[in-house]
């Protein structure tokens, strides 16, 4: 049997439930929460309460 001289390196897919996408989603959620708190502080009321 002939063995290949070069073995290809498989890359992880860039979609789906992987650790790097879960970390990115968590960081974006934390950032959005902080922005929401700052907007509510600036407005003086909750974002869903427009009265």
pLDDT digit string (tens) for 28-50? 999 999 999 999 899 888 877 66
The tally of CA atoms less than 13 A away on the side-chain side of residue 15 is 0
The conformation of residue 38, written as its DSSP 8-state character, comes to: H
User: In 1-51, where does DSSP find H-type helix?
Assistant: 19-43
- Asked if residues 19 and 13 have their Cβ atoms less than 8 Å apart, the reply is no
- Asked if residues 36 and 47 have their Cβ atoms less than 8 Å apart, the reply is yes
Average pLDDT on 5-27 reads 83
For the whole model, what pTM was predicted? 0.58
């Amino acid at each position: 049997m002939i063995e290949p001289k070069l073995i290809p390196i498989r890359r992880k897919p860039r979609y789906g439930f992987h650790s790097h996408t879960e970390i990115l989603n968590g960081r974006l959620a934390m950032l959005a929460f902080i922005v929401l708190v700052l907007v509510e502080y600036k407005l003086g009321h909750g974002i869903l309460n427009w009265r």
